[in-house]
Amino acid sequence: MPLRKFFAATAVAAVAVLLLLLLNLAYLYGSVYHQTERGAAFHILLVDYDGEVVGRSLSSAYQHLKSPSFPTLFTQPPSQYPTSDTIIHAVRNRQYWAAIFTSPGASQKLSAALQGGPAATTYNSTDALTYVWNEVRYPATADSVIERSFALLVAATRVAYNSINGTQALTTLAQNDPAAVQVYLDPIDAGSINVNSMPQGAKVFYNTISMAMPILQQFFFILALNGMSARFRLYDDLPPKTSGAVRAAVSAVYTFVGALCMTGYIWAFRENWPVHGYQFMETWMVLWLLMHIYFCIIDAAASILPQPALPFFIVTWIFLNISATISPFEITPGFYRWGYALPAYSTYEILTYIWSDGPAPELHRALPILFAWWLLGLACAILAHRRRCRLTLNAAGSQSSSSKAEKAFRVEEQNPKRMGVSSSEEKSINAAEEPALGEPKQQPGNERCSNTQERDTRTAEAIASSEPEQRPDGPDNTLQTAEATSATREGKS
C-alpha cells in the first residue's frame, strides 16, 4: 500500500535525522566532559622577587590548592625573568597561560606598615602580588578558570600568611593606629595585568557561533548558485573552462564580501576593545581565506553527494569545527586533538594572534594547515566542476536522442506506409475518397452525413479490391466481398 510505504520512508528519515543530531551533539558534549578536572593542564609561571614571608606564603598556598582541577605553577628564578616586562612578554608569547609574581621587598613593606605611621598610610596590599593573564586567548576559559584560580590563590596566600607570620605580626602591630590595623586585617592582595583585555560581551561568540556562520553562509549560497547555473544553462551554453572561470570569479567575490561583512559586525560590537585599523584588515584577509576554503569544500561535496545527504555533511562539518574551537585542547580529551588539522582551529589561532598584537610563534603550524586546506579545496572544486560538465553533456546527449526518437515516431505515425499500409492501399483509399464522375452532389443539409458514409463504404471496397491475391479462397471471403459490393451500391443509390 502507498500509505505503508510512506510511513516506512518517514520512519527511516526520522531515524537518520535523530542519529545525526545525537552523534554530533554527543561529540560536542564529549569535548567538555570532565573539563573542570583537567585544570592542571594550564601552566602558570611563578617568580618570587620577594624571597621572604610573602613569597613563602604564596608557595604554601599553592601547595594547599594543588589538585588536578587547579592550574600548575612553575617556579622560575628571578635571574631568568629579571623584570616584570619579561614575564608579560612570556605570557604574550604563550609560553604560559598566565603568571604571578611577588613584588621586590613586599615583606619588608608589610612589616613596616604594621608598625604604623606613614608606611601604614601609604601601604597598598595589591602591590604585594601581581598576576598576568591574556583574556583574548579563549575569553570564556580565561574568565572562568584562570582569573578564578588567581582569586583562590590570593585568598589562600592571605590565610597562609596569617598562619606563618600572624602571631609575630600581632606583636609588632601598632594597635592604636587605624591604618596599621587595616594593614593587619588585609595584608596581602593582588593586582592584575590583562595583556589584552576584551570588555565586550560578544567575545563569547568568537570561538563558537562565529566559527559556524562561514560554513552556513557558503552552504546556502552554493545552493542558490547551483540553482541559477541550471536555470540559465551555464554548463550547456559555455565551454567548461569558461563556466569554471565564471564560478571561480563568483566564489572569490562572494567570499571577499562575506569576510568583510563578518569582520564588520565583529568591529561594530567591539565596544571598548582596543583594536586598530590594520588588525581589521588582517582579520578580513584571514576570514576571506577561511570562507574560500569552505566554499571549495562545500562546492565539491554538493557535486559528489546526493542532495538528501548534503545537509548531513554540513551539520557534521559544523560540529567538528566548533568542537575544535569551543575550548582549549589542554583541557579536552586527547582524542579531540586531531582538531589541530581543522581549518576553524587554525583560523581562530591566527585571529587571536592578530587581536593580541604580539608575536605569533604558532603561525608556522596554523598558516600551512590553512593553505593546505585551500589547495585541497581548489583541487576538489575543479574535479567537481569537471564532473558537472560531464554529467550535463551526458544529459544533453540523452535528451537529444530522446528528441530524435520522438520525432521519428511522429513521422512514422504520419506515414501510412511505415505503419503497415501498402502504397496501393493508400492510393485506393485516396481515390475512394474522391467523388465519382457524373455523380450528383449532395444537398448541403445531408452533405456531412453522406460524405462520412461514402468514405467508409469506398474505403472498405478499395481495400477489398486492392489485395485479392492475399486473401485465401473460401466462402467467407466471397460472402464478405458480396456484402461490401451490396453496401456500396446502396450507398450510391
Chain segment 215-249, per-residue pLDDT in tens: 999 999 999 999 998 888 888 888 889 999 999 99
- Whether 304 and 393 share a structural domain: yes
> Is there a domain that residue 359 lies in?
yes
Write down how long the chain is: 493
- Whether 304 and 378 share a structural domain: yes
> Is there a domain that residue 283 lies in?
yes
> Is there a domain that residue 411 lies in?
no
pTM of the model: 0.77
Q: What SS3 state is found at 332?
A: coil
Domain boundary among 140, 166, 197: 197
What number of helices (H) and strands (E) belong to the chain?
18, 5
Query: In the chain, which residues have pLDDT < 70?
Result: 1, 359-361, 396-493
The pLDDT of residue 444 = 47
> Is there a domain that residue 118 lies in?
yes
- Whether 119 and 82 share a structural domain: yes
**Looking up cell 602591630, which residue turns up?**
173
How many whole angstroms separate alpha carbon 426 and alpha carbon 462?
9
Name the phi and psi angles at 208, rounded to 5. Answer: -125, -95
The pLDDT of residue 469 = 45
- Whether 387 and 475 share a structural domain: no
The pLDDT of residue 473 = 45
> Is there a domain that residue 18 lies in?
no
How many whole angstroms separate alpha carbon 251 and alpha carbon 246?
9
Cell digits of residue 437? 464522375
Domain that holds residue 229: 203-398
Contact 198, 135 (CB under 8 A): yes
The pLDDT of residue 348 = 95
- Whether 340 and 325 share a structural domain: yes
Domain total for the chain? 3
The pLDDT of residue 363 = 83
- Give 142-160 as a 3 state SS string: HHHHHHHHHHHHHHHHHHH
- Whether 181 and 223 share a structural domain: no
- Whether 243 and 379 share a structural domain: yes
- Whether 246 and 353 share a structural domain: yes
> Is there a domain that residue 406 lies in?
no
The DSSP string of 227-246 is: HHHHHTTHHHHS-HHHHHHH
- Whether 193 and 207 share a structural domain: no
The DSSP string of 249-282 is: HHHHHHHHHHHHHHHHHHHHT-TT----HHHHHH
- Whether 340 and 471 share a structural domain: no
> Is there a domain that residue 272 lies in?
yes
Torsion angle of C-alpha atoms 167, 169, 175, 181, degrees rounded to 10: -110
CATH of the domain at 71: 3.40.1710.10
- Whether 243 and 96 share a structural domain: no
The pLDDT of residue 168 = 86
> Is there a domain that residue 85 lies in?
yes
- Whether 221 and 109 share a structural domain: no
Which H or E element spans position 328?
Answer: none
The pLDDT of residue 46 = 96
